[in-house]
Structures are given as C-alpha cells and as structure tokens.
Amino acid sequence: MKRYAYPNLADVPMSAVMHALADPGRLEIVRQLLQQVGGECACGEFCESLSKATVSHHMRVLRAAGLIQHRAEGAKSITFLRTKEVEKRFPGLWKLVGRKGGKI
Amino acid sequence: MKRYAYPNLADVPMSAVMHALADPGRLEIVRQLLQQVGGECACGEFCESLSKATVSHHMRVLRAAGLIQHRAEGAKSITFLRTKEVEKRFPGLWKLVGRKGGKI
DNA sequence: GTTATGGTTTGATGACTATCGAACAATATC
DNA sequence: GATATTGTTCGATAGTCATCAAACCATAAC
C-alpha cells in the first residue's frame, strides 16, 4: 500500500477543514467513520454510488485536511479518523459533524 | 434597502454551512461578527482588501447558509449573525468558529 | 432635483473541483 | 506465474466559484 504524508494539524487552516466537509459525499464518509465502532472502515465500503476514482479523490482531500489516516491491511487500506488530534485542534468538530437531525 | 428571503435553518444542510465557511474571506467575516459587541457590523467595514462586488457575493452565500441576516439603517445595511437559530440547529458551531489559535 | 454613499446585479474571466473511465501498481490467492 | 481484489494516477469534461469593473438602484443630505 502507498505511504502518505499526513499534515501536522497545527498547520491545517480551519477553512481547509470546512472545505473538506463542504462536499456531501465527504461529509457522509466522515459520518460513517464516526458511527463505526472502532472508527475504522475500508475504502471500498464507502459511497457505493461513486466510482473508485472519485472516492480516492475524496480521501485525498480528507487526508490533506488532517481528518483521516490510513493503515494497510493486506491489499486493503483501512481508513480511520484522527480523532484525538482533530479534537484538540478543533474542539467540538466531531460532535458538530456527528449531530443528527435536520437535512443532510 | 433590499428585502431578502432568509432560509429556514431546518432546511439548510450542514454541507452548505461548511461550504459557506470554507472561504477564508467569509470565515473572517463571520469571526469579525462574532467578536463584535452587538454581533453587528456594516457591510463596508469588512474585508477592505476585497471589492464591493465580492463582499456582496460573500454576503449572499452566508445568507443562503442561514448564518447572517440584515437590517436596514438608513442607506446602510447592517449585518448580524443569526446567533440563536444557528446554535440550535448546529450546536457548537459558533464556539468552533470563534476558536483562536492555529493557522487562519 | 443633484450629489454622495452604500450595496446589488451583470458579465466576464481565470481558477478550481467533482466526476468518470482507463491504465497502472500492490497485495493476496491460487 | 496467473488471476482477482483494492486503490491510485492520468486525462478529460462539465460545472462551480472567487474575483473584478461597470452599470445600476436606494437612501440620505444638500
């Protein structure tokens, strides 16, 4: 599996995080991860309505925003949230995103 | 002054709010309003680096996201945050946005 | 009415973005 | 090695967006 470079959360501007979450597809991915028991999920299990290429693109954006990280597991790439780091840099973000109710 | 139609917060998807805050200029406008004593500010007092047209465009986006509202005062248009409604629909958003520290 | 001030609307433009198919790379299984 | 599975990268395309200048509208002050 590929090795990525993950940004230091301190260097991620809030606008970048907002931009990452501004796409309904990406927001859905993050919410799916939030609901996951271990906070993990394989890439292919997201957004079955989108092509592999598109999902891969979304992952890149979320990665650049410092929100997710990957772990190789055989041929699979397991995605998980950078829970603690993000919470420290942007307190309340996870709670906000995970909130239910209202439209999308 | 013009009369605008303001969206019902319940109809505003979170992705729309994220998108509105994804632009550094708009994020700055909102932060400026958050720091304002009464939470109000005249349009011309924002972003002196941007043209009138651009600021007006940003206002439209923030309005569509349900974040701000306007009040006529003579020829001026006073902008203010929809503080309570937004807090009810997106609890923690103001605190998150108002947070200091880190890059932009 | 005329002038000034504050903001909107309209084009236009250049940049960015979401999306896909196809080709590619890495790993696992046979 | 051959095949299947997973995901990345490339190129293309259609759409969105931030930005500005210029024209416009509304209010206030003269």
Position of tokens 């940003």? B58
Task: Please answer whether residues A70 and A79 qualify as being in contact, where contact means their C-beta atoms are separated by less than 8 angstroms.
Answer: yes
Contacts (Cβ under 8 Å, ≥6 apart) of A66: A6, A7, A8, A9, A12, A16, A17, A82, A85, A86, A89
Q: How confident is the model at residue B26 (pLDDT cuts 50, 70, 90)?
A: very high
CA-to-CA distance for B85 and B40, rounded, in angstroms? Answer: 16
Q: Pick the residue with more confidence: A15 or B32?
A: A15
Query: pTM score > 0.85 for this model?
Result: yes
Tokens of A60: 């890149």
- Which nucleotide is the nearest neighbour of B1, by CA and C1'? D26
The footprint of strand C (CB < 7 Å) covers A 1-2, 19, 22-23, 25, 49-54, 57-58, 61, 72, 74-75; B 2, 42-44, 52-53, 55-57, 59-60, 70, 75-77
Residue at minimal CA–C1' distance from D26?
Answer: B1
pLDDT at B41 over 80: no
A33-61, pLDDT tens digit by residue? 988 766 566 545 666 789 999 999 999 99
What's the mean pLDDT in B8-22? 97
Q: How confident is the model at residue B75 (pLDDT cuts 50, 70, 90)?
A: confident
Q: Give, rounded to a whole angstrom, the gap between the first and last alpha carbons of chain B.
A: 33
